[in-house]
Amino acid sequence: MGILGNLTLVFVAGLVTALATGIGALPFFLVDEVSDRWNVALWGLASGIMVSASVFGLIFEGLSNANGGSVSGVALGLLIGVALVVVSHHVIAEAEVNPKRYEEADFKKLALILGILTVHSFPEGVAIGVSFADLNLGGVDGVSLLGFSIPLLAVFMTVAISIHNVPEGVAISIPLRSMGVDKWRMVWWSIFSSLPQPIGAVIAFYFVRVAREFLPIGFGFAAGAMIYLVASEFIPEALEVGEELPGGGHRELLSGLTAGILLMVPLAFV
């Protein structure tokens, strides 16, 4: 397969993870709301999945060569990933966006919305892109599909981020539902929130293919950004939602975290 075919496959993988976010809106076709208990557990599930995918997928793969350059590259990537998210959050910290008015946004507001979505979703797209680094190169454990030789790491990351995006879609849909947004529009806005993922996947894949010496940095970058998002956003969000629950929601959060880790760790060692 040529580079165009490879880029197309990577884009489709990123698009699949974005579409998975829309699944998070589907429960609202059956119920009016998701309880705080379940919401906290879902945030925990998403956190467990992302940490497992980052550590057992990206960091382990980045360190697989077990040499000094690989270790230092992954460490540098981790720092860059955390720094980029910190800086991005600082830039948009004062932004207030009403999701119900997305359709009415002018160019400036649309640029702001896309910037916020990129901060949250782009690192996940990067993770997908770098996981496809050995696509069709041979000599790597993988699966054959439609003429492509897909690395197992790519399958693992695509599945992990897709599962993670479902509770993220629930979290996006809850405030939209409270504002009376139509159910199908909730599905659309959930998907829209993850559209930077296929774009980030293609950019990251192309970069690590033409500059493979930066691959360990790419693995570290994606892992660092996602782990920091979990620590700085997912877990605090879960605890804020669960502060009225017995024990402050810690039990539900821990249950979700454990479930996410137990779900993904076996896949990492298939």
pLDDT (average), residues 123-132: 86
Residue 81 pLDDT greater than 80, yes or no? yes
Q: Would you list the domain boundaries of the chain?
A: 3-268
Distance CA(109)–CA(115), nearest Å, equals 10
Question: Mean pLDDT across the stretch 114-142?
Answer: 73
Res 207: pLDDT: 85
Per-residue pLDDT, 17 = 92
**pLDDT interval class at 20 (50, 70, 90):** very high
Q: What is the DSSP string of 151-182?
A: EHHHHHHHHHHHHHHHHHHHHHHHHHHHTT--
Rounded CA-CA distance 40/35 in Å is 9
> Is the predicted pLDDT of residue 237 greater than 60, yes or no?
yes
Which carries the bigger pLDDT value, residue 100 or residue 90? 90
Which pLDDT does position 270 carry in this prediction?
Answer: 58
- Sign for the CA dihedral angle at 148, 150, 154, 159 comes to positive
Higher per-residue pLDDT: 141 or 186: 186
Give pLDDT, residue 67: 47
* pLDDT score of 59 more than 90: no
* Averaged pLDDT, 43-62: 83
3-state secondary structure of 143: strand
Q: What percent of the chain has pLDDT over 90?
A: 7
What pLDDT does residue 93 have? 60
Q: Count other C-beta atoms under 10 Å from residue 184's C-beta.
A: 11
User: Region 152-166: what's the mean pLDDT?
Assistant: 85
Q: Which pLDDT value is given to residue 165?
A: 85
Q: Kindly state the average pLDDT of the residues 67-75.
A: 72
